[in-house]
Structure 1
């Protein structure tokens, strides 16, 4: 049974960084997210740093101070050169992973570069996972290298597949070709960010991945799609995976349960 909403954005104000590619029209208050959880029988979840706030995780950390750490956690955004002190502060605040939002042509960090390797070592030392938001065709060729970095990798939004038929999809093929998938997790969230039905891809991923390597997320408040969907709509779409048990993955990735 799905117990957690492992992908939502919470912000009490809308103050975007310079160059933000999308700025929502209204806040997404913590109280509203919690009300949605209660209405749908969920017991906790994960707040993910929203892109328009960049590496300023203060809204995220402020929300976490109001929540039960045994049921709630966060995923932050930090620069590659983040210092140990700052990363430890975020860890203490309840952040259990960091996110690379690389869609729309954002540069992929060079995995062989010294700076990137130092960054990944800091994640390993703290048992923090790496969350990746990247289109499937760009993810596919680098997935083997990413999966070989010694950190748990969480792929957002069904992996943003590019082909309606999963048997022709490069992202699905890349997952299938991995010799070891034990460090790979997927979030089933935001079906509307793909132009076709992702249910066949989800079914394929459930076959390919080890047990307990999938979590569900509402993607609330559905940025860029606020006027076309809502919490109840995305919840109703997970009926195929309603019996999916997310407790083990939630403990491994977020230390909640």
Structure 2
């Protein structure tokens, strides 16, 4: 991949995109299933001209814990990283192999599934403590306005200090504005867990101003807790899957905010153990 010089706020690491085939079966109860394929080659063709040289594949909800497409990419592209979905009884040796493959996080996609009994499975605390010891994080995706209830479903993880990554600006309730309890719920955990926010998928926020949300999170957590992801291929919002336009957003947001945001340095902390991720 060619090295392209960019400003601090113009990311070279995309921390949130998806790959999937057109034929893999969706899990029972999936809310949707795209009829097309989203391939790593397609992502590369869009990302590389923008100067994006590394990235994080996030397991889509409709594939459940079948992470095979994601792991196939990691096997072919060791400079990439992954966030997987796991079953609560996943054996320790499987976790070890996932870590070696480049996985650095577990995703709890609770959108539309807040009442699923699986979030209360007794094996979760031990599993999450194990992945926390490897430096993984827990990524939480909720419905709009649903983050406080989603965080309330987490097991007691105080002893693990596992980092938390909140998907898509934390998806606060637009009707509540700055008073939304999404912010308070996140800050209530921030003294025990590093909390990061993915500045991604603003089109999923029901018209909320991403710059205002960026400013709010920056004031609460600091700019060193902000990540950028394209959310490509923008499932259910494919009409906005314009990669150059998505990649241009962080610099525009930072300019509107009046300060640079170290998106790449933050991504290296969360996904690359602080090392230089920008490999050839």
**Please, what TM-score do these two structures have when normalized by structure 2?**
0.82
Give distance in 1, aligned partners of 2:138 and 2:245.
28
- Structure 1: how far apart are the matches of 2:116 and 2:140? 10
Question: Of the candidates 186, 196, 208, which is equivalent to residue 175 of structure 1?
Answer: 186
Residue deviations 1:162-218, cap 9 Å, x none?
125632211123334556275101101111111122321221001111341111000
Contact persistence 2:140–2:164 (CA under 8 A): yes
Equivalent in the alignment of 1:154: 165
Contact (CA 8 Å) 1:129, 1:151: kept in 2 or not?
yes
1:14 aligns with 2:23: yes
Deviation by residue 1:5-45 (Cα, 9 ceiling, x = unmatched): 10000124431234222111211111111121112121211
- How many residue pairs match? The answer is 255
Contact 2:223-2:262 within 8 A present in 1 as well: no
**Does residue 105 of the first structure (1) align with residue 108 of the second (2)?**
no
1:76 aligns with 2:84: yes
Counterpart position of 1:240:
253
Match of 1:93 in 2: 101
Which residue of 1 is the match for residue 38 of structure 2?
A: 28
Q: Does 1:212 align with 2:224?
A: yes
Q: The residue matched to 2:208 in structure 1 has which SS?
A: coil
Among 203, 209, 212, which residue is 1:198 paired with?
Answer: 209
Say if 1:161 and 1:171, in contact at 8 Å, map to a contact too.
Answer: yes
Tell me, yes or no, if structure 1 residue 56 matches structure 2 residue 66.
yes
CA distance in 1, matches of 2:12, 2:246: 15
Distance 1:28 1:252, change over 3 A: same
CA, structure 1 residues 103+251, in 2 after alignment: closer, same or farther (shift >3 Å)? same
Q: CA 1:226–1:73 in 2, change beyond 3 Å: closer, same or farther?
A: same
Q: How far is 1:219 from its partner?
A: 0.2
- 1:21/1:142 CA distance change after superposition, 3 Å: closer
Distance 2:198 2:47 in 1: 17
- Structure 1, unpaired ranges of 5+: none
Query: For residues 78-113 of structure 1, what are the alpha-carbon distances to aligned partners after superposition, in whole Å with 9 as ceiling and x for unaligned?
Result: 011111111111111111111000001333678886
Change (3 A) 1:253 1:103: same
TM-score of the superposed pair, with normalisation by structure 1? 0.88
Cα RMSD, aligned residues only: 2.5
SS of the residue corresponding to residue 36 of structure 1 reads helix
Shift of 1:120: 1.6
